[in-house]
Amino acid sequence: MAAIQLAKQAGATVISTASSDEKLERLKDFGLDHGINYASESFVERTHALTDGRGADVVVDSIGGENLVNSIEALAYRGTLVSVGVAGRAGSNVEARDLWEKNTTLRGVFLGGALINEYARVHAMIADLFERVATGELRVEIDRTFPLAEAATAHSYIESRKAVGRVVLTP
């Protein structure tokens, strides 16, 4: 949700994927222009259709695995693929030659490493994001709140993949 908002505020046309039409509908409030239900259609084919065959200039992938490999196909010439996680818990077989064909870039982003190596820059960036949340410029969506005693239920809810936004435990 943050990536959608930040991309929209930067002037991008925002395309995002989700596993249901209901989730995609909720993302429109955050700046989503085009939603792709990856459970019912190919996000690569739909991205190319939405961009008149060009592909996306930037793809942010938090899933990894085969999704990361497919994201390369969704890129435009000289596009950038930003890998920010492995929510799918699977490794990927990315071939360098798949990046060469369209002169694309694969960039890994890990906040922990950035904090260690670029603390001042990253600290300022995080402070700016918190300020933007405090002023309402960025929204943090809380999907559901559970009492701490129901942590197992909250975890099951997260694993069900029904959440759209944060799940919060309260004391």
Q: CA-to-CA distance for 134 and 156, rounded, in angstroms?
A: 30
Q: Which residue has the higher pLDDT, 152 or 95?
A: 152
Q: CA-to-CA distance for 29 and 145, rounded, in angstroms?
A: 21
Other Cβ atoms within 10 Å of 121 Cβ, number: 11
Asked if the model's pLDDT at residue 92 lies above 90, the reply is: no
Q: What is the mean pLDDT of residues 84-102?
A: 87
pLDDT band for position 96 (50/70/90)? very high
Predicted confidence at residue 89, as pLDDT, reads: 75
Q: CA-to-CA distance for 111 and 121, rounded, in angstroms?
A: 12
Predicted confidence at residue 91, as pLDDT, reads: 79
Contact in structure between 66 and 48 (CB atoms under 8 Å): no
For the chain, list the strands marked E by DSSP: 15-18, 34-37, 56-61, 75-83, 105-108, 142-147, 166-170
Q: CA-to-CA distance for 79 and 75, rounded, in angstroms?
A: 5
Predicted confidence at residue 88, as pLDDT, reads: 74
Q: What is the mean pLDDT of residues 56-62?
A: 96
pLDDT band for position 161 (50/70/90)? confident
Q: What is the mean pLDDT of residues 16-43?
A: 95
Contact in structure between 80 and 57 (CB atoms under 8 Å): yes
Asked if the model's pLDDT at residue 78 lies above 80, the reply is: yes
How do residues 117-141 score in pLDDT, each as one tens digit?
A: 999 999 999 999 999 999 999 999 9
Q: CA-to-CA distance for 142 and 102, rounded, in angstroms?
A: 39
| pTM confidence score | 0.88
